[in-house]
Structure 1
Amino acid sequence: MIGWEDVYKVVVAMVPLYVALVLGYGSVRWWKVFTPEQCGAINRFVCYFTLPLFTFEFTAHVDPFKMNYLFIGADAVSKVIIVAVLAFWAKCSSKGSYSWSITSFSLCTLTNSLVVGVPIIKAMYGPAAVDLVVQSSVIQAIIWLTLLLLVLEFRRTGLGFSSNNSDKDLEGSVDNTEGSRPAFWCLMKTVWVKLAMNPNSYACIIGLVWAFISNRWHFEMPAMMEGSILIMSKAGTGTAMFSMGIFMALQEKVISCGASLAVIGMILRFIAGPAAMAIGSIAVGLQGDVLRVAIIQAALPQSITSFIFAKEYGLHAEVLSTAVIFGMLASLPVLITYYAILEFVP
């Protein structure tokens, strides 16, 4: 049975995140400390320095030879379930569409695992559970965000953006045998170029490579290198939340997509996603705390990266921004509720 001490530990882990969020919001909306141009510089600092190093720090200390492959399998099964449901909806429903299926997939599956998940899960289930969250984050960055980027590029190509204001990489590389659309390999080249420009992808891949090498041959990271990474990575959580507060303050409306879409987004994020994860977890035979961690990490707030992609590709960015903002605000009571309910699961 969950006690007040357990709730207090979760609150202690969450409050500092909210403090950083409020400071970022207030610095722009109330105190006018930063101009919009300066806010952009802060966001770039977070994107290109603190978050990649924060991601690398966690990924590099994962032991790939001791990863919980049932846990990863449950995550994969849950996403396959969601893809199947969305594909059926897009195909068979008059209200279904390819574009909304992409957005719905983001809302159901992509979580803010490292920034929010690590402190929360550690407070709930201890350091051992943090490894599961990091594993989930690594798989999300390497596989699922890459696939999201791929389908977004396919969508933009299908709409004819190579011929209007798309990337110059696509110009002059057209397959005339397929209605003047870019050839498949040209499209793949564009996707990989964009992925290569994302430092968070580098951080995750390099961290995973180092994890393989260090655990296989028992190498230790040089103290000078470790210290250089730590001094920046320790700022990752705080600066990411501060940046999120700045983003909130720059919006004209808190609910920029309307109340009805905001509610749908919250249902997909906090109910549909965890429900699919519960089905996937039971299907592969997860039990005990691993099952609980799997479901709770699926109920974490919306991934900020999913909003960045939505904004870049012009696909329901207002829905994703609302999901990020309200997901952060609603996550504490939602996660505590899941934590309490899951205490009754054997």
Structure 2
Amino acid sequence: MTKSIFIDGAAGTTGLEIADRLSGRAEFTLILLDDDKRKDPAAKREALNDADFVILCLPDDAAKEAVAMTTSSYTRIIDASTAYRIDPDWAYGFAEYRIGQRDRIASARWVSNPGCYPTGFLGLVAPLVAAGLIPADWPYTVNAVSGYSGGGKALIQRLEGEGADIGFRTYSLDLAHKHVPEMQVHASLAHAPIFAPAVVRAFRGMIVEVPLPLFAMPKAGSADALRAALAAHYAGSPVVTVHTEAAPSELLMHADQAPSDRLDLYVLASPDGAQVRLLAMLDNLGKGASGAAVQNLNIMAGLDETAGLRL
């Protein structure tokens, strides 16, 4: 029996990529609104309450409005905004980062899709904190660079439009990025990490780095122990790969990066093992957004969680 899906915000980058991953899927039928109905409250309310699944690709306030409009007893919601990512009533939609999370997503009515940067950070840090291999009360820093597609239409225009001359853009200089609470809460950290995000002239892709001075960290495990713990935690995952081979000489994010729904993790150590760079590579529009939403949808619908994904 097919399930109906309504993507609210289907014309945006995330919504378009979700629809692309769902194209040709016989398990689902999309509820579509004509252009002149997209902002019609009555038409939107009807679509929200007729759907088996709703995926919200909206700004925070609009997502909250859509949730309030959804009164059907059977409609299940995946929200791609920041609105509910630390709300305990919502299942956090990162199936792999914590034991039991996949089961919680499978049974949830409301699922909050993770942010792209937090996916990289939590994929690295959360299992290691839970295992006691790095301390929960350490002042962590996060250095990250992303493709510009996650910044919305205005930023895309600045990078692609006539006269565009931006090669590198660092931002959130007030240290108040909306992803920080999500990182702190879901990694169970005592302190908010210092987050330094940047955007480069690449449409998609992301590298997230967490440097660790193991020599100064109380009771921290060795680089080999960290790597082994991550490899064990994600063993068998079809989406997350922990690289245990020899350290690469470089990691590249290409300007024309192909779409991907993978998450690749690295533990790279100094020759004496005293310092480590935890690195995550992902597609900010894939495992960092649309791919994660489709994976969560598959889990909620009781289907193969990799169906429609690009791995």
Normalized per residue, the structure richer in helix is: 1
**TM-score, normalised relative to structure 1:** 0.25
Which structure exhibits the higher relative contact order, with contacts defined as CA atoms closer than 8 Å and separated by 6 or more residues? 1
Q: Determine which structure has more spread, i.e. the larger CA radius of gyration.
A: 1
**TM-score, normalised relative to structure 2:** 0.27
